[in-house]
Every structure is written in structure tokens, then in C-alpha cells.
Amino acid sequence: MTGIAFREATREDVPAMQVVRHLVKENVLSDPSLVPDSDCIRYLEVRGKGWVGHDGAQLAGFAIADLVDHSIWALFVDPLYEGLGIGKELHRLMMDWYFTQTSETVWLSTAYDTRAERFYRLQGWTDAGAYSTRERRFTMTVDQWRQRR
């Protein structure tokens, strides 16, 4: 992860976050207009908090936790930066923060048979079954997270 720095995300990061979100090869948005900048800002400033990993001025990845729905709203890494541990570090920062705010079980969903699904399994998430015809739901309790740490 040489050269990658991590910090809390701000509304100024949203345009670069949108670029990363649209570069991913899996969990692609069918309609990018479904996630406007205003939604991203609301998740960062009202519903939860986010983090970014950056290589100088280049955003390499981001993650956002939602305290309202007790979910992980986003975790995406620019394909050019995959395999460098950026996703793991963003995940750690996000989960550490989440469980300092609440002890509520957190959940997420991701497409079936993807690298994201494998990533979450490796991070200790519990398969909670189908979320939809295209996505699987995962959960993690505070105790599971503490055991991982």
C-alpha cells in the first residue's frame, strides 16, 4: 500500500467517489443516475460516515457506513488499485468506527459469485441468505468484529 493515505471522506470527495463507483467491474449500477451526489452527501453527513484511500490527488477507493439502516452503503476500489489492501483498510476503518457508535448488527448486500462476496466472507461476515434474485445478504455482530480484531 505504498503511497496510499486514508482519511475521513468529505462532500468534496463525492465527485471522485462517483468516478470510482462507475469504474468498478462488478456490482455495476444499471443506471448511474440512481445514486446522485446528494445521496452520497446525505450518507456522509447525516446517516453515517465515510473514508477514502488516496494516492496523492487520485482517489483509490472509498467506504461508507450507514448508522440509520445499520448497513454498509458502499465499499469500492478503483480497479487500478485492486489487490493492494486498500479495501481491507477501508473496511477496518469503517467497521471500527461503526462499532464505536452502536452495537447493532450491521448488514450489507452484494452480487452473487463476485470477488466482493469472497472478500466479505474472508473478512468474517456471515452469509444471511438471499437479499434478492441478484444479491446475497451478509451480517456481522459486534462480537464477531471484536474477535476479528
As for how many domains the chain has, the answer is 1
Q: What is the pLDDT of residue 49?
A: 98
Our separate counts of H helices and E strands in the chain read 5, 7
Q: Residue 139 is part of which domain span? A: 5-148
Q: Nearest Cα to 90, choosing from 103, 77, 107, 105?
A: 77
The tens-digit pLDDT sequence of the chain (149 residues) is 568 999 999 999 999 999 898 887 666 566 667 678 899 999 999 999 999 999 998 999 999 999 999 999 999 999 999 999 999 999 999 999 999 999 999 999 999 999 999 999 999 999 999 999 999 999 999 999 999 87
Q: Nearest Cα to 118, choosing from 73, 81, 93, 88?
A: 88
CATH code, 22: 3.40.630.30
What is the pTM assigned to this prediction? 0.93
DSSP string, 47-75: IEEEEEEEETTEEEEEEEEETTTTEEEEE
Grid cell 468474517 is found at: 124
